[in-house]
Amino acid sequence: MAQRHRLWGDKERLFSELSKKESSERFLELFVRVGSGEEEEMTSCRYDLYNDIDVVKFVKLGRLRWAGHVVQMDDGNPVKRIFDGHPGGRRARGRPRLRWTDEVKEDVARSGHRCWRMLAKRREEWRNIVGQARAHPGL
């Protein structure tokens, strides 16, 4: 069994042992480091090193995969009916809100394709498009 540090169980004692000056210096050092862009550089190096993708790209790829899945569903499926449905009523004044499908359309356009619903109906082709989007640097 691993041994625990003597301060792990007692937060109050931990904070009392750190002087206010010491903790404020640590905070300032972290704040300056984050503001300088050093953290972004370290993060991008880590992604390059491990061939991993960042969080934003991960979410966008998940959105593309789910969009293809929904387009391929039967027309009677409740998820598909909601996806294709148009609620009645009027929109609020001002700038229209972004819709989920608008974001999917934009992501597919960035990878150089159009008519994403037609492409998504063909399973293998859609899988290739999602794979290309994973490798695309602008997504």
* Average pLDDT for the chain: 76
* Prediction pTM value: 0.59
Indicate the angle between helix axes 100-110 and 123-135, nearest 10 degrees: 70
d(CA 84, CA 70): 10
Residue 20 has pLDDT above 90, yes or no: no
Terminal-to-terminal C-alpha distance of the chain: 45
The confidence band for 47, taking pLDDT boundaries of 50, 70 and 90, is low
More confident residue, 46 or 54: 54
What pLDDT does 10 receive?
Answer: 54
Domain boundaries, the chain: 11-49, 53-86+100-135
